[in-house]
Amino acid sequence: MLIGIDASRAVAAQRTGTEHYSLYLIRALIQEGRSHRFRLYFNQAPPEGLFVRDERVSWRIIPFPRLWTHVRLAWEVTLHPPDVLYVPAHVLPLFHPKRCLATVHDLGYLHYPQAHTRWARWYLDWATRFNARASARVIVDSQATATDLISYYGLDPAKIILAYPAGAEGFAPVTDPKALEAARLKYGTGQRYFLYVGTLQPRKNLTTLIRAFALLIAKRAIEDDVRLVLAGKRGWLYKEILEMAHKLAIQERVVFTGYVAQEDLPALLSGALAYVLPSWYEGFGLPVLEAMSCDTPVICSNVSSLPEVAGEAALLVNPADASALAEAMRRVYTDHGLRQELIARGRERARAFTWQRCARQVLAAIEAVGSGG
């Protein structure tokens, strides 16, 4: 079978969640699907070594200035159709093979529309509806997303395939003091810090995290050298997040690092007091597993998919309650036994999610679609 895959998101210069998903899943699909051929579609040449290219794996590098998916990719798959087309991190082209699949990562724009621009809400709603209608199977990252697709869009449950992703490859505890210190100096974290990693946008609920950190300072529950590090590039409607620390007069204790290079994340995570993700909504939450893989305690929201991902290996809090979030941070900061328990549970939890298992489940769906099932 010739499996065509939109790999355009995997070659993004600064990859975030869905781009990492695309990269690692495609690699695993190629590894697991040894009886198949793959054709990867790129809007720009991939960096050397990112993907294999051999008798089983061909590349189609097809640059186009605008509307790459709906014009250039659509034209390519119409002229030279694969047996099955799979889109892991975007939307199917308007014109596509009948046998096609797409991953829908989340419906956060329906739960928290205020966290998106009007244009983004419209496009995300259109793209999700189009993927759900056009796909022979819809891959989802979590049961939370599956439930949303059924509830909001009336999607047939038989059409949905749940395939849990995993964290980024190569994440492991960094114990070398020189590597840890180099990360601290590069990103200005200080010696002790709570860490968030992800895009700076309202859906991540970072204003509540900053308020929780301010409560810890006001109550003198943490020492003066402890900082809050918000690591990630600026996303939609980010200005309120940047301004919150100034409004609360704690700007000297809050560090905005900007985008963090992938190779620096294990050291940054390993050096943190805890990884904190207070999101209003997550389709999956890859950084939770990445933090656990680095032996970093995790504090996260008790909503959407995060309880599925974290299980009993994290402290779960109501994302609307800054006081509860502050208390969870205080407990991790002061209770050595709790820290060690969360680290041990997290290590085991992270091992339960693998890209190989995810790829086998997605590949089975692709094979079923390819055979007309």
Ordered DSSP codes for 259-300? S--GGGHHHHHHT-SEEEE--S--S--HHHHHHHHTT--EEE
**CA distance linking residue 9 with residue 200, whole number of Å:** 19
Q: Tell me, what's the pLDDT at 303?
A: 94
Q: Could you tell me what percent of the chain has a pLDDT over 70?
A: 100
Q: Tell me, what's the pLDDT at 113?
A: 86
Mean pLDDT, to the nearest integer, of 187-214?
95
Lowest mean pLDDT: which of 227-231, 240-244, 343-347?
A: 240-244
In contact, 15 and 23? CB cutoff 8 Å? yes
H or E element that contains 139: strand 137-140
Residue-level length of the chain: 373
- Whether the pLDDT of residue 319 is over 90: the answer is yes
Mean pLDDT, to the nearest integer, of 278-283?
92
- Whether the pLDDT of residue 218 is over 80: the answer is yes
| pLDDT band at residue 138 under the 50/70/90 scheme | very high
**Helix residue spans in 100-205 (DSSP H):** 108-111, 118-134, 143-153, 177-187
Q: Tell me, what's the pLDDT at 262?
A: 87
Q: What is the pLDDT of residues 177-186, one digit of tens each?
A: 999 999 999 9
- Whether the pLDDT of residue 139 is over 90: the answer is yes
Cα dihedral 339, 204, 146, 43 sign: negative
Q: Could you tell me what percent of the chain has a pLDDT over 90?
A: 85
| pLDDT band at residue 252 under the 50/70/90 scheme | very high
In contact, 58 and 36? CB cutoff 8 Å? no
**CA distance linking residue 2 with residue 24, whole number of Å:** 20
**Phi, psi (5° rounding) for residue 252?**
-75, -15
In contact, 294 and 122? CB cutoff 8 Å? no
Domains and CATH numbers, the chain: 2-166+354-370 (3.40.50.2000), 177-351 (3.40.50.2000)
**Phi, psi (5° rounding) for residue 189?**
-80, -25
**CA distance linking residue 278 with residue 318, whole number of Å:** 8
- Provide the whole-model pTM: 0.89
H or E element that contains 102: strand 100-104
- Whether the pLDDT of residue 373 is over 70: the answer is no
Mean pLDDT, to the nearest integer, of 279-289?
90
Q: Tell me, what's the pLDDT at 129?
A: 95
What's the order of all strands across the beta sheet hosting 192-197?
254-258, 226-231, 192-197, 274-277, 298-301, 315-317
Angle at 46 between CA 40 and CA 49, to 5 degrees: 100
Which token pair is 88?
């892991």
Q: What is the pLDDT of residues 14-52, one digit of tens each?
A: 777 789 899 999 999 999 999 999 999 999 999 989 999
Close Cβ partners of 369 (under 8 Å, ≥ 6 residues apart): 84, 99, 100, 101, 136, 137
Closest CA to 218 of 20, 210, 153: 210
**Arithmetic mean of pLDDT over the chain:** 94
In contact, 241 and 314? CB cutoff 8 Å? no
Q: Which residue has the higher pLDDT, 234 or 320?
A: 320
Q: Tell me, what's the pLDDT at 17?
A: 77
| pLDDT band at residue 235 under the 50/70/90 scheme | confident
In contact, 213 and 328? CB cutoff 8 Å? no
Q: What is the pLDDT of residues 100-126, one digit of tens each?
A: 999 999 998 898 888 778 898 899 999
